[in-house]
Chain A
Amino acid sequence: MSPLNRSLKIKRRSTPISLTPLIDVVFILLIFFLLVSTFEEIRSVEIVPPSAQSDARESTADEQSLTILVQGNDDYLVRAESYSLESLKIFLGEQPDRVIFVKTGPNAPLQAIVSLIDLANTLNLSKVSLVQPEK
């Protein structure tokens, strides 16, 4: 066999591709998604801000209306009687057509307002207005 033929018959050794760099990249991507992803279930509640009109309506409120004073989480005052969220749900459920004005006490957190709005939505109470606090 001539030297030329012999050289043509020499097979090139295949160079296997290492998987290690691929795994490095995949790990980095995994760490990236672990750090930036959030699993909070974010939703929203629509709120109509208090206005001068709602204040005026509250000041001329009649017996058909109800003013709820939010004092704290699970602490609501209606006509000088204190209610928890559960008892308020029962109370308001018996009076579906009332116009409701929501006032806030100085120590009430925002969560208490949101819970009350949720309660109003659950009971399909459409006439709920936030009253501007006094300065």
Chain B
Amino acid sequence: MRRLEYRKPRQTEKIDKHILPMTNIIFLMLIFFMIAGQITATDPFAITPSKSISTTHTKPEDGIIHLSKDGEITFQYQAMDAEELKVKVAEYLAEAPGAVLRLKADADYSAVETLFLLAELHEIGVEKISLITQLENSL
């Protein structure tokens, strides 16, 4: 009996050929999200930063204080109250003198309370603080 030279494609081969264009699209989307997105640590609570036209970037290695709309405070992602914050910030500055702290505070949080907090930080040696903002197009 003559052996057939043509071999019928297997079912999986048929499916694989049809999936190839979709694979192309998926790879393109993956590359897009890998390049366009930024991977950052999740905030301990939802914070909507203030909008600003400033284009200055922050350094991710700087110490960070989170301040929620309800007045909750974290330092380096650990929850604490204002008194403990002063102690921890003083320890942080002792280890890294001259370090610039970042403050991510909700835009709707009370300005008075924020300034109280900043004044207390100034007393323990914080000369400048970087307030994290969202980029706004124009003033």
Q: Which residues of A are at the interface with B, using a C-beta cutoff of 8 A?
A: 16, 18-20, 22-23, 26-27, 29-30, 33-34, 36-51, 70, 85, 89, 104-115, 117-119, 121-122, 130, 132-133, 135
Contact = CB atoms under 8 A, between A and B. Distances in A.
Given A40-B134, A49-B129, A111 B115 contact: no
A43 B37 contact: no
Contacts, number: 177
Interface residues of B, number: 58
A114 B102 contact: no
> Interface on chain B toward A: helix, strand, loop, or mixed SS?
mixed
Interface of B: 10, 12-13, 15-16, 19-20, 22-23, 26-27, 29-30, 33-34, 36-40, 49-58, 102-103, 105-112, 114-116, 118-119, 121-122, 126-135, 139
Given A110-B110, A135-B116, 11 more contacts: A23-B19, A26-B27, A39-B37, A43-B135, A46-B56, A49-B126, A105-B112, A107-B110, A110-B107, A114-B107, A130-B115
